[in-house]
Structure 1
Amino acid sequence: MNEPAPEESSIRVSTSFFDDQKMKSLQEWDDMDGESSVYTLNKAHASVGFGKLQMDGESPVYTMDEALTSVGFGKFQILVLAYAGLGWFSEAMELMILSFVGPAVKFQWDLSDDQESLISTVVFAGMLVGGFSLGLISDCYGRRKGLLGLNLLTCVAGVLSTFSPNYASLVTFRFFVGFGVGGGDVFVTWFLEFVPASHRGIRMILLSFFWTFGTIFEAALAWIVMPGLGWRWLLGLSSLPSIAMLLFYSLVPESPRYLCTKGRITDAHKILEKIARLNQSKLPPGMLVSDSTVGRDEESANSESTPLHSTTRKMDLDLRSGFSSLVTLFSSKFVRTTLLLWALCFGNVFSYYGILLLASELSSAQSQCGSSNAMFSKILQDDSLYVNVFITSLAEIPGLLISAIMVDRIGRKFTVAFLFVLACISLLPLVHRQPATLTTVLLFGARMSTNGAFTVSAIYGLELYPTALRATAGGAAGAVGRVGGMICPLVAVALVTSCRLTEAIILFEVVMAISTVCVLLVRVETKGKELSDSIDHVSDSEQAADVR
């Protein structure tokens, strides 16, 4: 291949595309994180036509979205879904523990209400730090590195917390569990970047079913383990999935979208070939190019096949610095979306985990506020706590089914808004203490709705940003959401146990109402749109023309 003239603009294309023999000898899983050698191809000979570049008199080229559409959703994506799903299953178990460990430890170590609340609060504090940190690592060093970091932290800290000799060590270890769990958005980002645009919403909700199964499994496990074996056994058994995550880590491929944003087209193509082989499909003819090199007609900017965001090449280079990524979130292009998304994430986490904790605090065994330690001892042996939490955990299944039906029909924004309104209606009667059965039914409806809203919001938030920024944006939004998680134990636990249920419920209602307004104010609907890898020609008016 002749070297292009220095004055000519160019795009990066892997040399291996010109050598069929080399293509046959590409290594597979173990080389998916390696570096590639690249040359440049004269951009002056490229022309755009219907979303696909054609080289004058040469082979066509294709983008990542066109490649994923061609190979389809098959065996490879199912394996990716299984790993990401196991990760979410594990993280759901670690967080669901909060409903059981707090009351048990309070009784055993004679803790105050504030000390019990702190056990949950430090987990969310760790999630705040971990969400942002692991998101930056994922964008700067790769999705695999982010996954390794969160798996190590969750596994090691989870096992160590099982052997905590005192309250201080338990709080410390649970903080680091939270640090690892806070990177859970990397699982979503990683899986998202393997999924074709068609019906992406429903396929992403499939991942959320693993979270729901994790909460249900943890509730059932606590029901079996806690009365006879105690909280230490529950913590230890709940760490087993995170150990499995580490055992299978060597099989994890890097995101091809991420590789494209780093100019590693050869490595991205290797993974796409692996996907095509496992799915028994074919890649489009020609050569792979990054979306950042592909211009698109202005007239098609509003079509559903138009990428959501794209960025300038200079900004892509700046994103190699983690702090530059954070600054970009507050650029004129993204500041409105970022602030609204952060407020939405705060409301999501606050309401979801608050309702999760309410299920244990409002159980029939605790129908009298201000329970004593003697009462807590009775609670731990009473099935009512586990029954209530188990039943309300089952509510997440219909919540996900409703989300799956709505997300690709009416869109992300209106699905989230509808589910928040439904949650407000379900929770409102609890401003006054209700009979145990009615309380469980109302919490079932609230848990169903908030889980659906949480799930769709997580998908929506990641779709709003380009690949070069996605994990950082998701991690930062998740970190802000963890502030809601830090505060909610003070509401769901402290207020309820101090006989201030009405104030707690009203606060939940206000937070969910504000979240509904925030999601409706976001100007972009991502339903049916392709993901973008970079940020190109985005107006400072926050994509107002994209609203449909």
Structure 2
Amino acid sequence: METYTTDDALTKMGFGRSQALVLVYAGMGWVAEAMELMLLSFLGPFVREQWNISPQNESMLSSFVFAGMLIGACAWGFVSDKYGRRTGLLFSTMFTSGMGFLSALSPNYLCLMALRFLVGVGVGGSHVFISWFLEFVPAQNRGTWMVIFSLFWTLGTILEASLAWVVLPALNWRWLLALTALPCVLMLPFFGLTPESPRYLCVQNRMADATAVLERMASANQSDLPPGVLIYNRETKTDHGNLASESECLLPVRQKECKVDDAVSSESGSLAALRTLLSRDLLKSTLLLWFVFYANSFAYYGIVLLTSQLSDANRSCASGVIFGLHQKDTNIYKDTFITSLAEIPGLILSAVLVDWFGRKASMWSMMFACCAFLGPLVFHQNELLTTILLFGARACAMGSFTVLCLYAPEVYPTYVRSTGSGIATAIGRVGGVVCPLVAVALLGSCHQMEALVVFEVVLCLAAVACMFFPVETKGRGMD
């Protein structure tokens, strides 16, 4: 009897109208996350002025959001692996929009911190959009489409900077919070158009449902499915150490029957998934991914903060005066807008490298390039050179982050893909929590050299870690 896999079906039908729908919907999820995170660049100074809070309490606002994202990344990953990708998408989106609107009505700072923490929990599910989208994309051009998908993040940062530029001088921060929650609300009416992942359905042994989804996709793309019966996967050769097949190295699944292995099915939920992620075959990949996610988040969000902090630190350290922000001062909006544009060349660079140079080499090369751009900033530079160097560093950080977000879902098998990516993303959020201690605290204390050396060391270690990833996933099907 003839058979075909999900990868065979996706390759035959190509990227068409059905995948475009998934791309736009998942992309809106990333627009929403980018806007919620870029919001932190503007929110702190204004609530500090309104409620007369200390700088230490102001910094806690960002930390609470990232802490919520850490919890949400794990929680929504488990939900989407156990109950389906669409379930995870729907409830994380509803939760984010609801908490976002409520936070705009906060009567005091403690209430605002609590509600923004809950917004972070909702936004923590954004990695589910990545896993969901990639499970619809043919293997041979998955890297290119991931880069295109990442453009939605850049779009979100530009939209938030533009929105803040218009709203904050004319209205106030409450309006900005409410308007920032709108993308999530706009996604809800279109949820009924979204399909469940056929890979997820197959792992759940729902072969008829998976076939039905693929048939609708093929019809929308004006194509046909391969002849035969859908099966989960075929054994294929791989470069993962000395193991004989993809199924052995990454997927403890009975291929023909499409059943989860006994170790996982006999245990409950997240504990079973965690045991799988830390199993002998996946342990090295998991630990390295955790560190690289931490380091890349630390570097990316740190560079975002350095854009404003370096200039302010140079002036304050030279004069002994601490410069503040004023609501009518448009420099912060202009600077954020310009530095957000740096991500576009980073995405172009990753698009060129990812399917030609490979995932691993793309990541470590862009991390080393980021180190090269940050190196001269160990010493004070003039404003123009500082801007150019930070522009290049952010482009490389965005490029490596994009490839990393592609690589993580490719490494893990379908039934723990969202959980594995979610935990790695959660570890990355810790980097986001820690980086202000370096980018803000050290620079504010006139320790520019020490701050930049920390960023250099973290990036170099992450680049070396990328070289030790045991799997190169370029051109490979997803299990």
The TM-score with structure 2 as length reference comes to 0.93
Q: CA deviation at 1:363?
A: 4.5
Distance 1:216 1:366, change over 3 A: farther
Aligned to 2:205: 263
Q: In the alignment, is the contact (CA less than 8 A) between 2:235 and 2:246 conserved in 1?
A: no
Q: Give the one of 399, 419, 433 matched to 1:472.
A: 419
Aligned to 1:342: 290
Q: For residue 110 of structure 2, give the secondary structure of its aligned residue in structure 1.
A: helix
Whole-angstrom distance in 2 between the partners of 1:372 and 1:285: 75
Whole-angstrom distance in 1 between the partners of 2:240 and 2:441: 54
Whole-angstrom distance in 1 between the partners of 2:324 and 2:314: 8
For the pair 1:310 / 2:251, whether they are aligned, the reply is yes
For the pair 1:249 / 2:191, whether they are aligned, the reply is yes
Amino acid at match of 2:449: T
Aligned to 1:165: 107
For the pair 1:451 / 2:398, whether they are aligned, the reply is yes
Distance 1:86 1:212, change over 3 A: same
Q: Give the one of 61, 68, 74 matched to 1:126.
A: 68
Q: In the alignment, is the contact (CA less than 8 A) between 1:423 and 1:446 conserved in 2?
A: yes
- Computed over aligned residues only, the root mean square deviation of the Cα atoms, in angstroms, reads 2.4
Aligned to 1:543: none
Give the 5 Å matches for 1:281-292.
281-291=223-233
Distance 1:496 1:318, change over 3 A: farther
Point out the more displaced range, 225-234 or 113-122: 225-234
For the pair 1:505 / 2:452, whether they are aligned, the reply is yes
Distance 1:166 1:84, change over 3 A: same
Whole-angstrom distance in 1 between the partners of 2:299 and 2:104: 28
Q: CA deviation at 1:511?
A: 1.0
Whole-angstrom distance in 2 between the partners of 1:232 and 1:405: 41
Q: In the alignment, is the contact (CA less than 8 A) between 2:264 and 2:272 conserved in 1?
A: no
Whole-angstrom distance in 1 between the partners of 2:148 and 2:123: 20
Distance 1:359 1:226, change over 3 A: farther
Distance 1:178 1:531, change over 3 A: same
Q: CA deviation at 1:251?
A: 2.0
Aligned to 1:26: none
Whole-angstrom distance in 1 between the partners of 2:387 and 2:328: 19
Q: CA deviation at 1:500?
A: 2.4
Give the 5 Å matches for 1:378-457.
378=326, 380-457=327-404
Q: CA deviation at 1:374?
A: 9.1
Aligned to 1:21: none
Give the 5 Å matches for 1:17-36.
none
Q: In the alignment, is the contact (CA less than 8 A) between 1:318 and 1:325 conserved in 2?
A: no
For the pair 1:351 / 2:292, whether they are aligned, the reply is no
Amino acid at match of 2:381: Q
Q: CA deviation at 1:138?
A: 0.8
Aligned to 2:274: 326
Q: In the alignment, is the contact (CA less than 8 A) between 1:276 and 1:282 conserved in 2?
A: yes
Point out the more displaced range, 79-88 or 442-451: 442-451
Q: CA deviation at 1:495?
A: 2.2
Q: In the alignment, is the contact (CA less than 8 A) between 1:370 and 1:499 conserved in 2?
A: no
Amino acid at match of 1:344: V
Whole-angstrom distance in 2 between the partners of 1:325 and 1:530: 21
Whole-angstrom distance in 2 between the partners of 1:86 and 1:429: 37
Aligned to 2:258: none
Point out the more displaced range, 187-196 or 139-148: 139-148
- 1:309-351: CA deviations, max 9, x gaps? 3214324534762210011111111111110010000001111
For the pair 1:236 / 2:178, whether they are aligned, the reply is yes
For structure 1, the residue ranges without an aligned partner over 5 or more in a row are 1-54, 533-548
Whole-angstrom distance in 2 between the partners of 1:288 and 1:146: 25
Amino acid at match of 2:251: S
Q: Give the one of 316, 321, 332 matched to 1:368.
A: 316
Q: CA deviation at 1:434?
A: 2.9
Q: In the alignment, is the contact (CA less than 8 A) between 2:241 and 2:470 conserved in 1?
A: no
Whole-angstrom distance in 2 between the partners of 1:230 and 1:345: 35
- 1:264-299: CA deviations, max 9, x gaps? 0111111101100110000011211122xx445799
Distance 1:306 1:184, change over 3 A: same
Q: In the alignment, is the contact (CA less than 8 A) between 2:373 and 2:392 conserved in 1?
A: yes
Q: For residue 367 of structure 1, give the secondary structure of its aligned residue in structure 2.
A: helix
Whole-angstrom distance in 2 between the partners of 1:209 and 1:228: 29
For the pair 1:488 / 2:429, whether they are aligned, the reply is no
For structure 2, the residue ranges without an aligned partner over 5 or more in a row are 254-260
Aligned to 1:144: 86
Distance 1:166 1:300, change over 3 A: closer
For the pair 1:182 / 2:124, whether they are aligned, the reply is yes
Whole-angstrom distance in 1 between the partners of 2:167 and 2:329: 13
Aligned-residue sequence identity (percent) comes to 50
Whole-angstrom distance in 2 between the partners of 1:206 and 1:479: 23
Q: In the alignment, is the contact (CA less than 8 A) between 2:12 and 2:226 conserved in 1?
A: yes
Q: In the alignment, is the contact (CA less than 8 A) between 2:239 and 2:472 conserved in 1?
A: no
Q: Whose radius of gyration is greater, 1 or 2?
A: 1
Q: CA deviation at 1:482?
A: 0.9
Whole-angstrom distance in 2 between the partners of 1:396 and 1:477: 22
Distance 1:299 1:387, change over 3 A: closer
Amino acid at match of 2:4: Y
Distance 1:495 1:374, change over 3 A: closer
Aligned to 2:256: none
Q: For residue 140 of structure 2, give the secondary structure of its aligned residue in structure 1.
A: coil
Q: In the alignment, is the contact (CA less than 8 A) between 2:164 and 2:176 conserved in 1?
A: yes
Q: In the alignment, is the contact (CA less than 8 A) between 1:117 and 1:490 conserved in 2?
A: no
Q: In the alignment, is the contact (CA less than 8 A) between 2:313 and 2:443 conserved in 1?
A: no
The TM-score with structure 1 as length reference comes to 0.81
Whole-angstrom distance in 2 between the partners of 1:175 and 1:149: 16
Q: CA deviation at 1:148?
A: 1.5
* Structure with more of its chain in helix, by fraction: 2
Whole-angstrom distance in 1 between the partners of 2:114 and 2:314: 28
Q: In the alignment, is the contact (CA less than 8 A) between 1:61 and 1:288 conserved in 2?
A: yes
